[in-house]
Amino acid sequence: MRSILKSFMIFTIMVGMLASCSKDDDNVVAVSKNADKTAIVLASFGSSYPGPEATLMNIKEEVEKANPETTVRWAFTSYIIRNILIKRGEGPFKDIDSPEVALNNLIHEGYKKIVVQSLHLIPGLEYNEVKTLVEEMNVKYKDVQITLGAPLMETDTDMQELVNVVSTLDDLKGKTVVMMGHGSHHEANDRYTRVGEFFAQVKDGHFVVGTVEAAPTVENVIAQLDALNLKDKSITLIPLMSVAGDHASNDMAGDDKDSWLTKLTAAGYKVNLVRKADVKDTPLKGLGDYDEVVAIWVKHLDAAVKALK
C-alpha cells in the first residue's frame, strides 16, 4: 500500500512539474514575442463625464490607424477621476490605470519598447509628473526603453500648427471664437498667452484665448473682444482642451453666474456653443473630436517612436 501511495505521489509531482514547465514555456514565448513589439500608452488627465469617452476613443482610433497592429493602452493621470470611474464600474474606462500601473503591466507582459504619449495641452504639472515617471522607470528597468511624446503645445512650432488647424476648421473658420483653456500655476502656462498671440494674427476671423484657472482670465478675454469693436456681437465659445468635460460643461458653458457663458452674455455677446450634433444639450466638442488636431499629437507620437533605439 505504501509503495502504491509513494508511486502515486511521485507521478503527481512529475505531472505538476511538466505542467509548470509547459506554463513557463508559454510565458517565455509570449514574452519573447512582445519583446520585439512596441506598446503605446495614451496618458490623459481623464474625465468622468460621458461625452469625453467618445472623444478619447476617437483619439485612440486615430493613433491605431497610424500605428496598426500596435498595443495601445490608456492611463489617466488624475487619481480623483480614476477613483470615480473605478467606483462607477461601467463604461470603457471602468478599469482605468495610472501611468505607473500601465507601464508596469506592459513591462510584466514582456514589452521592451514603450512610448507614452501625453494628451495634455501644455508641459505643465501633469505632464512633468509623467515625464519624471518615465525617467525613473528607465533607470529602474535597464533592459526597457520608454520614450515620451510631447504635449499639444510644447513649442512655438506646435502652437503655430495648432492655430493653422483650428482657424480653418469648418466649425470655426471666419468666426469670432473664444477659447477657454484650463490654465496652470506652472511656468508652462505662458503657452496660453503665446498661442493667443499666434491666434491674433489669423486674418479670417477673430480668435481669443483665456484660461479658467490662471491668466489670461475671462475678464481679459472680454476686454480683448470689446477692443475689436465687433458689429456682429455673435461669438463661438469652445474649450481649448482635449475633451469637453467638467470645466467645459460648467465653468465654460454652465448656467451659474461665474461661468464664461453667463459673463460673456452679460457683456452683450450672443454666445454659440459647438456640439457633437446640432441638437440642444448634446455633448460639447473638445479638441480631440477633430482629427486634424489629433494629427498633431500623432506626429509627436511618431517622433517618440523614432526615438526608440
Catalytic residue set:
182
C-alpha 143: how far from chain center: 27
Which residues pair with residue 282 across a beta bridge? none
216: cis peptide before it, omega within 30°?
yes
Alpha-carbon torsion (56, 61, 66, 70), positive or negative: positive
Amino acid at 140: K
Q: Which helix (H) or strand (E) holds 38?
A: strand 38-44
- How far is Cα 22 from Cα 38, in angstroms, rounded to an integer? 26
- Specify the residue for cell string 498667452: 193
C-alpha cell at 35: 519583446
Closest to 199 (Cα-Cα) out of 190, 207, 191, 187: 207
Kindly state the DSSP code that residue 97 receives in the 8-state scheme.
P
Closest CA to 44 of 88, 85, 90: 85
Helix 125-140, helix 99-108: angle, nearest 10 = 30
